[in-house]
Amino acid sequence: MRLQDEPDIPAQINIVPMIDVIFAILTFFIMSTLFLTRSEGLPVNLPKAATAKQQQVPSRVTITVDEQGVVSLNRKPTTVDDLTAQVRTLVGSNPEVLVIINADEKVGHGKVVAVMDRVRQVEGAKLAIATQK
Protein backbone atom coordinates (compact mmCIF):
# COMPACT_ATOMS: atom_id res chain seq x y z
CA MET A 1 0.00 0.00 0.00
CA ARG A 2 1.40 3.33 -1.07
CA LEU A 3 0.64 6.62 0.58
CA GLN A 4 -0.65 8.94 -1.95
CA ASP A 5 0.27 12.56 -1.76
CA GLU A 6 -2.61 14.74 -0.80
CA PRO A 7 -3.70 16.97 -3.63
CA ASP A 8 -2.15 20.44 -3.40
CA ILE A 9 -4.57 23.08 -2.28
CA PRO A 10 -4.03 26.22 -4.33
CA ALA A 11 -2.61 29.13 -2.36
CA GLN A 12 -5.22 31.69 -1.41
CA ILE A 13 -4.89 35.23 -0.17
CA ASN A 14 -7.51 36.27 2.29
CA ILE A 15 -8.20 39.95 1.50
CA VAL A 16 -10.81 40.64 4.18
CA PRO A 17 -8.23 41.70 6.82
CA MET A 18 -6.47 43.83 4.21
CA ILE A 19 -9.74 45.60 3.35
CA ASP A 20 -10.34 46.25 7.06
CA VAL A 21 -6.90 47.83 7.40
CA ILE A 22 -7.40 49.98 4.28
CA PHE A 23 -10.76 51.25 5.55
CA ALA A 24 -9.24 52.02 8.96
CA ILE A 25 -6.45 54.04 7.33
CA LEU A 26 -8.94 55.79 5.05
CA THR A 27 -11.12 56.70 8.03
CA PHE A 28 -8.08 58.06 9.88
CA PHE A 29 -7.11 60.32 6.97
CA ILE A 30 -10.66 61.57 6.44
CA MET A 31 -11.09 62.39 10.12
CA SER A 32 -7.68 64.06 10.39
CA THR A 33 -8.29 66.32 7.37
CA LEU A 34 -11.51 67.58 8.93
CA PHE A 35 -9.46 69.11 11.75
CA LEU A 36 -6.88 70.77 9.50
CA THR A 37 -8.94 73.87 8.76
CA ARG A 38 -6.87 76.92 9.45
CA SER A 39 -8.44 79.74 11.38
CA GLU A 40 -6.59 83.05 11.41
CA GLY A 41 -9.05 84.83 13.67
CA LEU A 42 -10.41 84.17 17.10
CA PRO A 43 -13.48 81.92 17.37
CA VAL A 44 -16.68 83.91 16.85
CA ASN A 45 -20.17 83.09 15.61
CA LEU A 46 -20.14 84.37 12.05
CA PRO A 47 -23.34 85.52 10.37
CA LYS A 48 -24.72 83.46 7.50
CA ALA A 49 -24.78 84.65 3.87
CA ALA A 50 -26.23 82.82 0.88
CA THR A 51 -23.84 84.48 -1.58
CA ALA A 52 -20.61 83.87 0.36
CA LYS A 53 -17.54 83.11 -1.78
CA GLN A 54 -14.12 81.71 -0.93
CA GLN A 55 -11.35 84.30 -1.38
CA GLN A 56 -7.96 83.09 -2.61
CA VAL A 57 -5.35 85.69 -1.74
CA PRO A 58 -1.75 84.88 -0.76
CA SER A 59 -1.48 87.20 2.25
CA ARG A 60 -4.17 88.01 4.78
CA VAL A 61 -4.70 90.25 7.76
CA THR A 62 -7.51 89.19 10.10
CA ILE A 63 -9.44 91.57 12.32
CA THR A 64 -11.73 89.91 14.87
CA VAL A 65 -14.54 91.62 16.74
CA ASP A 66 -15.88 89.27 19.42
CA GLU A 67 -19.26 89.20 21.13
CA GLN A 68 -18.18 91.75 23.76
CA GLY A 69 -16.91 94.14 21.06
CA VAL A 70 -13.20 93.54 21.74
CA VAL A 71 -11.15 94.14 18.58
CA SER A 72 -8.13 91.92 17.77
CA LEU A 73 -5.68 92.20 14.88
CA ASN A 74 -4.17 88.82 13.96
CA ARG A 75 -5.20 87.47 17.40
CA LYS A 76 -3.61 90.39 19.29
CA PRO A 77 -5.97 92.76 21.15
CA THR A 78 -6.02 96.32 19.87
CA THR A 79 -8.28 99.36 19.75
CA VAL A 80 -10.30 100.76 16.85
CA ASP A 81 -8.25 103.96 16.93
CA ASP A 82 -4.95 102.08 16.43
CA LEU A 83 -6.24 99.89 13.57
CA THR A 84 -5.32 102.21 10.70
CA ALA A 85 -1.66 102.50 11.67
CA GLN A 86 -1.31 98.79 12.50
CA VAL A 87 -2.97 97.63 9.28
CA ARG A 88 -0.86 100.11 7.28
CA THR A 89 2.34 98.61 8.70
CA LEU A 90 1.13 95.06 7.98
CA VAL A 91 0.06 95.91 4.43
CA GLY A 92 3.24 97.82 3.64
CA SER A 93 3.77 98.06 -0.12
CA ASN A 94 2.02 94.76 -0.91
CA PRO A 95 -1.12 95.53 -2.97
CA GLU A 96 -2.41 91.94 -2.67
CA VAL A 97 -3.22 91.98 1.06
CA LEU A 98 -6.77 91.03 1.99
CA VAL A 99 -8.08 92.34 5.29
CA ILE A 100 -10.74 89.95 6.63
CA ILE A 101 -13.16 91.11 9.30
CA ASN A 102 -14.45 88.31 11.56
CA ALA A 103 -17.28 89.98 13.45
CA ASP A 104 -19.57 88.05 15.76
CA GLU A 105 -23.18 88.17 14.62
CA LYS A 106 -24.21 89.81 17.92
CA VAL A 107 -21.83 92.78 17.52
CA GLY A 108 -23.54 96.08 16.80
CA HIS A 109 -23.52 97.40 13.25
CA GLY A 110 -21.81 100.61 14.33
CA LYS A 111 -18.76 98.79 15.71
CA VAL A 112 -18.27 96.83 12.46
CA VAL A 113 -18.68 99.99 10.37
CA ALA A 114 -16.10 101.77 12.53
CA VAL A 115 -13.62 98.93 11.95
CA MET A 116 -14.36 98.93 8.20
CA ASP A 117 -13.87 102.70 8.06
CA ARG A 118 -10.44 102.40 9.69
CA VAL A 119 -9.39 99.66 7.27
CA ARG A 120 -10.59 101.60 4.23
CA GLN A 121 -8.26 104.47 5.20
CA VAL A 122 -5.29 102.21 4.38
CA GLU A 123 -4.25 102.60 0.75
CA GLY A 124 -4.30 99.32 -1.20
CA ALA A 125 -6.02 97.18 1.45
CA LYS A 126 -8.77 94.96 0.10
CA LEU A 127 -11.63 94.43 2.51
CA ALA A 128 -13.66 91.25 3.09
CA ILE A 129 -16.18 90.19 5.72
CA ALA A 130 -16.13 86.59 6.93
CA THR A 131 -19.47 84.73 6.90
CA GLN A 132 -20.78 81.21 7.06
CA LYS A 133 -22.38 79.68 4.01
pLDDT of 39 reads 58
Continuous segment of H or E residues that includes residue 89:
helix 83-91
Instruction: Indicate whether 19 belongs to any domain.
Output: no
The answer to whether residue 51 scores a pLDDT higher than 80 is no
- Structural domain harbouring 81: 59-129
Residue 102, in any domain of the structure:
yes
Burial pattern 23-33, b for ≥16 Cβ within 10 A else e, equals eeeeeeeeeee
Grade residue 123 by pLDDT with cuts at 50, 70 and 90. confident
Q: What is the CATH number of the domain that holds 112?
A: 3.30.420.270
pLDDT tens per residue, range 67-109? 888 888 888 888 888 888 888 888 777 767 788 888 888 888 8
In a domain, 72, yes or no: yes
Say whether 84 sits in a helix, a strand or coil.
helix
Answer whether residue 48 shows pLDDT above 80. no
- Give pTM, 2 decimals: 0.58
